[in-house]
Amino acid sequence: MRVHHLNCISSCPLGGKLFDGRTPGLLRRGELTCHCLLVETGEGLVLIDTGFGLRDVADPRSRLSAFFLLMLKPDFREEMTALRQIERLGFSASDVRHIVLSHLDFDHAGGLDDFPHAKVHMLRIERDYAVRQQTWLDRQRFRPQQWSTQANWQLHDATAGDRWHGFECVRPLSDSLDDIALVPLRGHTFGHAGIAVRKENGWLLLAADAYFFHTEMDLEHPRCTPGLAFYQWMMEKDRAARLRNQARLRELCASVDSRGKLDVFCSHDPIEFERMAGRSAGIPADAFIRPARSWA
C-alpha cells in the first residue's frame, strides 16, 4: 500500500515555543500540525483522520467553538484540507471509500462532511460519549455540526479483535482492509484510538493524541513542552489511562527498530510530520508522481 502524509490545517496557539518547541519567542503563535494519512488500497482510498474540512474553513464560527478558535487560531487555508490535497494527488472525494477516526475532536473530524459516501470507522465508546455532550468542554470539543455523515458510521468494540504489539486492537475493519487496525489508546478521550497501517517493511502507528511532542517518547527522559503538557491535562478524560498508554508507547518505541519495522508518530508535532512527509508542514501534498488507480 502507498501511504501519503497530509497536514490538514495547522493550529497556531499563542505562546510559540511553549507549545511547539521551535517557534522563536513567546508572543508569536506556534504551529501544531493535524497529521492525517491517505492510504491507497485495492478497493479505494482510506483516509485516516480528516483534520478540518471545507465547511470549517468557509464558516468556522458556525462549526467550531469560540473558545478553541481563540485558543488555537487554526490557519484556515482551503488548499490544506484533506479533500483539496487528495484532489492535488489526482483523486476525487468519491475515491475515498473508508475513513478511520482516532476520535471525534473537532480538529480530527471536521472533514467528514467532504466525503459523504465514505464509511466512517471509530470505536463505539467514542461515539457514545461524544453524542452525550455531558460537560461544557465536551460541547466545545465534540461538534455535531461536523457529523452530517452519521448514517455511514461503522462502530467497533474496543474489546474485539487481535493483539497488536501487546496492545488490544480491532482488526480487520472490513474483509479487504486487514492491513489497518484501530488500536484502543484510552485517555485523551474514552474512545481514543491509534491507527496502525501495515506497509511493506513494517508498520506505521498514528498515535493521534495519545501524546503531543516527540520527546515524550524518550524512554529514559520523557519531556513535553509546557503548553502541550497543559493542553493534554485540560483535555484528558482518563488521566491514569493516558499516562499508562504513553508509557506503553515509549516501551514499544524502545523495543523495535523504528526505521525498518515500526514508526510511531502523533497528530500534532510538526517535527514528526516533516520527518515522515519529507516536506514542510505548510506545504500541501502534490502529485509529484501521479498515482495509478487500481480500482473501479
- Confidence bin at 137 (pLDDT 50/70/90): very high
In a domain, 72, yes or no: yes
Residue 112 DSSP one-character state: G
The mean predicted confidence, pLDDT, of the chain is: 93
Nearest to 32 by CA among 208, 218, 173: 208
pLDDT per position as a tens digit, 14-69 = 999 999 999 998 889 999 999 999 999 988 999 999 999 999 999 999 999 999 99
Task: Tell me if 198 is assigned to some domain.
Answer: yes
Per-residue pLDDT at 288: 55
16: CATH: 3.60.15.10
Flag whether pLDDT at 204 surpasses 70: yes
Q: Are 284 and 88 in contact (CB under 8 A)?
A: yes
Q: Which pLDDT score is estimated for 161?
A: 82
- The pLDDT value recorded for residue 295 is 52
Q: Which of 23-27, 76-80, 129-133, 196-200 has the lowest mean pLDDT?
A: 23-27
Do the domain assignments include residue 55? yes
* Residue 268 resides in a domain: yes
Confirm whether 296 is domain-assigned. Answer: no
User: Across residues 267-272, what is the average pLDDT?
Assistant: 98
Number of structural domains (the chain) is 1
**Residue of 25 and 217 predicted with greater confidence:** 217
pLDDT single digits (tens) 56-111: 999 999 999 999 999 999 999 999 999 999 999 999 999 999 999 999 999 999 99
How many whole angstroms separate alpha carbon 72 and alpha carbon 139?
A: 16
CA-based nearest residue to 130, from 148, 147, 114: 147
State the pLDDT at residue 158: 87
114 lies in a domain?
Answer: yes
Residue 290 has pLDDT above 70, yes or no: no
Q: Considering the domain boundaries, does residue 239 fall inside one?
A: yes
291 pLDDT higher than 50: no
What percentage of the chain has pLDDT greater than the value 90?
84
What's the pTM value of the predicted model, to 2 decimals?
0.94
Answer whether residue 190 shows pLDDT above 60. yes
Does residue 216 sit within a domain? yes
Distance CA 9, CA 113 (A): 16
- Report pLDDT digits (tens) over 224-263: 999 999 999 999 999 999 999 999 999 999 987 544 589 9
Q: CB neighbours of 34 closer than 8 A, spacing ≥ 6? A: 7, 8, 9, 10, 11, 49, 51, 52, 107, 108, 267, 268
Side chain identity at 126, as an amino acid letter? E
- Domain span at residue 46 reads 2-277
